[in-house]
Amino acid sequence: MKLFYYFLSLILISTLYNCGENELPQISQSTDIIEKNEELIEIDSIQLQIDELAKRIITNRNVEKKLSEYGDVNTERVVVIYTKHGRMKFRLYTNTPLHRANFIMLSKLKFYDNTLFYRIIDNFMIQGGNSDDEQMGIKFSSIGRYRIPNEINRNNIHKKGAIAMAVPTEEQDFGKKSSAINFYIVEGRKINVSYFSKKRNDGKKYTESQKKIYTTVGGAPHLDRDYTVFGEMISGFGTLDKISRTKVDKYNWPKQEVKIDSIRAY
């Protein structure tokens, strides 16, 4: 009988031991599942953040949709550029809605604050929004990487005080899409009437009113039909003239910084 109980005890101990061994992996599997679930939740959270960021980022594929939607809500048509030389006030055109919306958006994001007019050519134009600057590149990347479809309009000419967007070199002969951030303001000079009487090979035609503006006020007519003019100066011509007189090096870079303190939309 004692021998029977002895063997029975061994069987029970063996059974309990084996149960313990079988239970341990089960507990480990539960821990693995919890850890995997936590990883999945974390991945889902990151994906949500990426998806949310993707909704905000502007690309060449969604640029028209994004800027159109922004323009529908943000209807400002006036911007003021503040500098130490004074301020320049512009009225933006309604017939260039994508360019208007883009410039209003950048102004509201304070994108141009403490940036430079980095290229200045007297009697021609002043240019801002240098995309070669590292900080500008970082700021622009947070908005997106895109070009604005051209909205060239024969009624929008490069008269003195016109504001337009630059066109990257690779777009000159293909689409003439605008840079999203590089803009320029025309100073120009008075154009001799003979410029408009010559036989033209570029197909450009001017109304009598436009000819009068160029011959009495001035501008840069050779840029017409190649760049999108999206607004015109309504005050601050003296400031434009002061900035245009800035001394520059052989590359037209100002020898002393000409800072844009801020650009605001109203």
Question: Rounded CA gap, 158 and 227, in Å?
Answer: 9
Q: How confident is the model at residue 15 (pLDDT cuts 50, 70, 90)?
A: very low
pTM of the model: 0.80
pLDDT band, residue 170 (cuts 50/70/90) = confident
Which residues are bridge partners to 262 per DSSP?
82
CATH assignment of 63-265? 2.40.100.10
pLDDT tens, 241-255? 999 999 999 999 999
pLDDT of residue 202: 76
Instruction: Give tens-digit pLDDT for 16-43.
Output: 334 444 444 444 556 666 666 666 666 6
pLDDT for 171-223, tens place per residue? 887 899 999 999 999 999 999 999 998 877 777 899 999 999 999 999 999 99
The whole-number pLDDT of residue 26 equals 47
Average pLDDT taken over every residue of the chain: 86
Looking at the DSSP assignment, which residues form a beta bridge with residue 178?
148
To 5 degrees, how large is the angle CA 133–CA 139–CA 145? 95
Of the CA atoms within 13 Å of residue 216, those in its CB half-sphere come to 6
pLDDT surpassing 90 at residue 124: yes
Q: What is the pLDDT of residues 127-140, one digit of tens each?
A: 999 767 777 888 88
Three-state secondary structure readout of the chain: CHHHHHHHHHHHHHHHHHHHHHHHHHHHHHHHHHHHHHHHHHHHHHHHHHHHHHHHCECCCCHHHHHHHHHHHCCCCEEEEEECCEEEEEEECCCCHHHHHHHHHHHHCCCCCCEEEEEEECCCEEEECCCCCHHHHHHHHHHECCEECCCCCCCCCCECCEEEECCCHHHCCCCCCEECCCEEEECCECCCCHHHHCCCCCCCCCCHHHHHHHHHCCECHHHCCCCCEEEEEEECHHHHHHHHCCCECCCCCECCCCEEEEEEEC
CA distances from 241 to 41, 69, 210, 215, 244 (A): 59, 36, 22, 18, 5
Structure tokens at 195: 């410029």
Does 232 have pLDDT greater than 90? yes
Region at 225 (left for phi over 0; alpha for psi -120 to 50; beta for the rest): left
Q: Residue 209 and residue 217: Cα distance in Å, rounded?
A: 11
Note the pLDDT of residue 10: 39
49 versus 152: which is more confidently predicted? Answer: 152
Question: Residue 44: pLDDT band by 50, 70, 90 thresholds?
Answer: low
Does residue 3 surpass a pLDDT of 90? no
Per-residue pLDDT, 25: 44
Express as a percent the part of the chain with pLDDT over 70: 79
Mean pLDDT over residues 226-235, rounded? Answer: 98
The mean pLDDT of 87-98, rounded to a whole number, is 98
- pLDDT for 18 equals 44
> From CA 223, how far away is CA 162, in angstroms rounded?
11
Q: Residue 100's pLDDT is what?
A: 98
User: Which residue would you say has higher pLDDT here, 236 or 14?
Assistant: 236
Greater confidence (100 vs 26) lies with: 100
